[in-house]
Amino acid sequence: MLNIDPDDPLAVAAIEAIRSGDLEALQRLLRDHPSLATARIGKSRTLLHVVTDWPGNFRNSASTVVAALVASGAEVSARSTGAHTETPLHWAASCDDVAALDALLDRGATSKRPARLLAVARRWRTRWHSGSGRRRGVWSSAAHGQPSGRPPH
């Protein structure tokens, strides 16, 4: 497995392409560096973790960037290393990035620890709107006293 220093020009270019939603640049990097899709940045996270990193909701992240990375060999359920071993699915959930959750789940992402995260992510796919019309995710719903993710009757 390729480990890339976060300051390496290849890592910087890949992260910038992901965060800016520049699919052409990302695909060129993946084509020129085939092991990039499965590489670790700073020995701890994958490019799918970058896609779902805080603050999340990057342009084109779900519709094309996740698809391009997975098509190039990225593992949708790869765990980060270190004190907290989390998948891109965990990171997307923590950023309230519903589109990225959908893209990851559609491509086979799973989470066994904690198992509840996967249930939450699947419920998130059936998002709902509060009375004000503002979309709320499951985490926000729980904070508002609606742990089921549905508005009160």
Read off the CATH number of the domain in which 89 is found. Answer: 1.25.40.20
In a domain, 149, yes or no: no
CB contact at 8 A, 60 and 98: no
Tell me what the mean pLDDT of segment 76-82 comes to: 90
Please write the tens of the pLDDT for every residue from 85-94: 889 988 888 8
- pLDDT tier at 148 (50, 70, 90 boundaries)? very low
Q: How far is CA 9 from CA 2, 5, 14, 20, 74, in A?
A: 14, 9, 9, 16, 20
pLDDT of 131 over the 90 cut: no
Q: Rounded to 5 degrees, what angle do the CA atoms 144, 146, 149 make?
A: 115
In a domain, 111, yes or no: yes
Which pTM value belongs to this model?
Answer: 0.74
Instruction: Name the domain count of the chain.
Output: 1
What's the gap between Cα 82 and its chain centre?
A: 18
User: Residues 108, 109, 114, 119: what is their CA dihedral angle, to the nearest 10 degrees?
Assistant: -60
In a domain, 46, yes or no: yes
CB contact at 8 A, 40 and 3: yes
Please give the pLDDT value at position 134: 46
Question: Who has greater pLDDT, 107 or 144?
Answer: 107
Please report which residue ranges of the chain form alpha helices under DSSP H.
Answer: 9-20, 23-32, 47-51, 66-71, 88-94, 98-106, 115-124, 138-143
In a domain, 105, yes or no: yes
SS3 97: coil
In a domain, 145, yes or no: no
Range of the domain at 57: 3-128
In a domain, 148, yes or no: no
pLDDT of 6 over the 80 cut: yes
Please write the tens of the pLDDT for every residue from 19-51: 999 999 999 999 999 999 999 999 899 999 999
DSSP 25-49: HHHHHHHH-GGGGG-EETTTB-HHH
**Nearest partner of 121 among 129, 112, 130, judged by Cα:** 112
In a domain, 27, yes or no: yes
Range of 72-76, 103-107, 129-133 with top mean pLDDT: 72-76
In a domain, 151, yes or no: no
